[in-house]
């Protein structure tokens, strides 16, 4: 029994357990134990719901105690108070950050600029759950599927955090069959278990701003409008042409692989390897193709002759004049699409911003036609001679790979990768709704990467001051008092729509 002389002290909350009371205690405690319960419940130092008991019940030794004759002692409150507390580092999870102050002002400016462009093109907004059923996301992202966050759900459903906003949109269309044509935009957070580089806007939790055109239209017309939207967004952000829209066509890339001799079952994996050419030299990509993915070396060399080429209509003409490529059916369709696209882009006045780049692959499996990425001068720095043999020189940075981080510079504008990307995905909706296909094309803007570059540019321009708020007017008075008078003035200014601090 607990000694009567020992006073009852306040319990340490780290050791408190909560149990509902009942008329018949489950532990069949003796009267002394129940009295202790009442004393704790009505004590002044704990204001609790009377239906909750907050104390640790006495533990009785099985060998020599019983409900009527307990021989073990109740763990004293003093010992509870002295129990060591768990220590941990107070921080946000890896790849995430808190936003405040001037950073929020800059990010809101980016959101507002992008939203205005989306609305100008007739976009309507939707919202979808932050997590989806695992089956919805499975098999849509190729080798990037390993970056999906899976959730442990006790309700019986296996769910994952959304990897992007495109697959949820396709699921939305499949569930709402009455929607056959829509220009939709969506601004929300997505999640990826990637290796983060915080200063360059590569995070595990980040915002995407998506615009998609779903439905049947004239060939390549929606694709051209999406590229026009890209130019309007970055010109609206004040980038003044400091970006390039790299584009390619999945059917052209697949046609090159077929002509070069890539087996059909290896086309997607080889495409994923080519997609790394913006971060790795050709020697590393070739090594991955041959040693990791089992491609014949001669086939890899033939691919290497093509994927280094870039241009505009001149490159398209080169492909059309190559007999082996021109005879390939996949190549024919891709080249027809690009020829029409170049005509439309010239009419839209944005042809000068694009580059036809055969190294662009986009590793996601759901793309079926035109693909594109927006890069800046520092998005993919040129590989120096010392880095060409990177495969023989492992990185000295513990736990990081240069191929994943691309962290070759402390400059926030260098090595951020693409700041926007997208393409055509005509078969994705059909994966959820059987035979019902809705052609789609879209673009996704990476807000955090755009933020990193925008903030660095503003810091370089010393006259670009950023305020923490949008207040237009401050109300003050000389001397003491006049509080109510100032309040009255503020009220009238607010009624007139003026921002007052």
- Under the banding of pLDDT at 50, 70 and 90, the label for residue 362 is confident
Say if CB 418 and CB 364 are below 8 A apart: no
Identify the helix (H) or strand (E) that includes residue 185.
strand 182-191
**How much of the chain exceeds pLDDT 90, in percent?**
48
pLDDT at 54 over 80: no
The most confident of the ranges 25-29, 135-139, 179-183, 473-477 is 179-183
**59-71: pLDDT as tens digits:** 444 444 444 444 4
Average pLDDT of span 192-203? 75
Q: Using alpha carbons only, what angle is made at residue 458 by residues 454 and 462, rounded to the nearest 5 degrees?
A: 170
Residue 47's CB: how many other CB atoms inside 10 A? 6
Give me the pLDDT at residue 99, please: 86
Look at 284 and 85; give whichever has higher pLDDT.
284
pLDDT at 442 over 80: yes
Give me the pLDDT at residue 124, please: 97
Give me the pLDDT at residue 406, please: 39
Give me the pLDDT at residue 84, please: 54
Spell out the SS3 assignment of 228-276. Answer: HHHHHHHHHCCCCCCCEEEEEEHHHHHHHHHHHCCCHHHHHHHHHHHHH
- Under the banding of pLDDT at 50, 70 and 90, the label for residue 464 is low
**Cα end-to-end distance, the chain, whole Å:** 64
Give me the pLDDT at residue 357, please: 94
pLDDT at 57 over 70: no
Q: Assign 324 to helix, strand or coil.
A: helix
Give me the pLDDT at residue 392, please: 36
Q: Where in the chain is the domain with CATH 3.30.930.10?
A: 99-379+412-459
Average pLDDT of span 352-365? 89
Say if CB 473 and CB 132 are below 8 A apart: no
Give me the pLDDT at residue 478, please: 86
pLDDT at 377 over 50: yes
Look at 398 and 501; give whichever has higher pLDDT.
501
Under 8 Å CB-to-CB from 153, ≥6 apart: which residues? Answer: 159
Question: Which residue intervals of 125-164 are DSSP H helices?
Answer: 134-137
Look at 99 and 1; give whichever has higher pLDDT.
99
The most confident of the ranges 31-35, 62-66, 489-493 is 489-493
Give me the pLDDT at residue 379, please: 61
**Alpha-carbon gap, residue 158 to 93, rounded angstroms:** 23
Q: What are 74's two structure tokens?
A: 């109740």
Look at 447 and 25; give whichever has higher pLDDT.
447
The dihedral formed by the CA atoms of 181, 187, 193 and 197, expressed in degrees to the nearest 10:
130
Average pLDDT of span 1-18? 44
Give me the pLDDT at residue 416, please: 66
Average pLDDT of span 294-309? 92
Give me the pLDDT at residue 66, please: 44
**267-281: pLDDT as tens digits:** 988 988 898 888 889
- Under the banding of pLDDT at 50, 70 and 90, the label for residue 234 is very high
Known binding-site positions: 164-166, 192, 208, 212, 362, 366-367
Residue 331's CB: how many other CB atoms inside 10 A? 24
pLDDT at 412 over 60: no
Average pLDDT of span 280-292? 91
Look at 178 and 410; give whichever has higher pLDDT.
178
- Under the banding of pLDDT at 50, 70 and 90, the label for residue 201 is low
Phi, psi of 398 (to 5 degrees): -70, 130
Known binding-site positions for L-histidine: 164-166, 192, 208, 212, 362, 366-367
Average pLDDT of span 255-260? 94
Q: What are 423's two structure tokens?
A: 């393409």
Give me the pLDDT at residue 380, please: 52
Strands 244-249 and 354-357: parallel
Look at 69 and 474; give whichever has higher pLDDT.
474
Give me the pLDDT at residue 34, please: 41
Give me the pLDDT at residue 93, please: 86
Q: What are 29's two structure tokens?
A: 């405690």
Give me the pLDDT at residue 121, please: 97
- Under the banding of pLDDT at 50, 70 and 90, the label for residue 154 is low
Average pLDDT of span 279-287? 90
Look at 88 and 1; give whichever has higher pLDDT.
88
Largest CA distance in the chain: 101
Give me the pLDDT at residue 61, please: 42
Give me the pLDDT at residue 488, please: 93
**Alpha-carbon gap, residue 221 to 424, rounded angstroms:** 12
- Under the banding of pLDDT at 50, 70 and 90, the label for residue 45 is very low
**236-251: pLDDT as tens digits:** 998 888 899 999 999 9
Write down the mean pLDDT value for the chain. 79
Q: Using alpha carbons only, what angle is made at residue 120 by residues 205 and 200, rounded to the nearest 5 degrees?
A: 25
**Alpha-carbon gap, residue 81 to 72, rounded angstroms:** 20
CATH class of 99-379+412-459: alpha beta
């Amino acid at each position: 029994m607990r000694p009567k002389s020992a006073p009852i002290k306040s319990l340490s909350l780290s050791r408190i357990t909560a149990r509902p009371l009942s008329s018949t205690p489950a532990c069949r405690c003796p009267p002394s134990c129940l009295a202790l319960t009442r004393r704790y419940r009505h004590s002044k130092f704990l204001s609790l719901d009377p239906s909750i008991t907050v104390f640790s019940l006495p533990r009785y030794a099985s060998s020599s105690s019983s409900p009527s004759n307990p021989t073990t002692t109740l763990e004293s409150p003093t010992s509870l108070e002295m129990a060591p507390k768990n220590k941990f580092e107070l921080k946000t999870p890896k790849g995430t950050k808190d936003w405040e102050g001037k950073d929020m002002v800059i990010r809101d400016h980016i959101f507002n600029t992008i939203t205005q462009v989306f609305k100008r093109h007739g976009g309507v907004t939707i919202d979808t759950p932050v997590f989806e059923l695992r089956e919805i996301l499975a098999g849509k992202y190729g080798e990037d599927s390993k970056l999906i966050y899976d959730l442990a759900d006790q309700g019986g459903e296996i769910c994952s955090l959304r990897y992007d906003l495109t697959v949820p949109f396709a699921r939305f269309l499949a569930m709402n069959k009455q929607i056959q044509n829509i220009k939709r935009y969506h601004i929300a957070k997505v999640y990826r278990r990637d290796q983060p580089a915080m200063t360059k806007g590569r995070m595990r939790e980040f915002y995407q701003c998506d615009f998609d055109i779903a439905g049947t239209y004239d060939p390549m017309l929606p694709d051209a409008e999406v590229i026009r939207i890209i130019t309007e967004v970055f010109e609206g952000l004040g980038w003044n042409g400091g970006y390039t829209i790299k584009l390619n066509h999945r059917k052209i890339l697949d046609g090159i692989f077929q002509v070069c001799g890539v087996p059909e079952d290896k086309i997607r994996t080889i495409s994923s390897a080519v997609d790394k050419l913006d971060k790795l030299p050709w020697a590393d990509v070739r090594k991955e193709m041959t040693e990791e993915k089992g491609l014949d070396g001669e086939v890899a060399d033939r691919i290497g002759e093509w994927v280094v080429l870039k241009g505009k209509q001149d490159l398209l003409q080169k492909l059309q004049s190559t007999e082996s490529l021109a005879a390939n059916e996949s190549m024919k369709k891709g080249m027809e699409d690009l020829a029409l696209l170049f005509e439309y882009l010239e009419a839209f006045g944005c042809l000068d911003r694009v580059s036809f780049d055969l190294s662009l692959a986009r590793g996601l499996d759901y793309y079926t036609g035109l693909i594109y990425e927006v890069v800046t001068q520092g998005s993919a720095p040129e590989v120096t001679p010392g880095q060409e043999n990177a495969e023989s020189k492992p990185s000295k940075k513990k736990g990081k790979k240069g191929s994943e981080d691309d962290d070759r510079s402390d400059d926030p504008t260098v090595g951020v990768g693409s700041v926007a990307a997208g393409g055509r995905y005509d078969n994705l909706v059909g994966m959820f709704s059987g035979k019902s296909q809705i052609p789609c094309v879209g673009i996704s803007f990476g807000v955090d990467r755009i933020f990193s570059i925008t903030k660095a540019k503003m810091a370089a321009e010393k006259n670009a001051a950023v305020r923490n708020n949008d207040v237009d007017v401050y109300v003050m008075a000389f001397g003491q008092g006049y509080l109510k008078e100032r309040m009255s003035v503020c009220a009238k200014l607010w009624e007139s729509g003026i921002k007052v601090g």
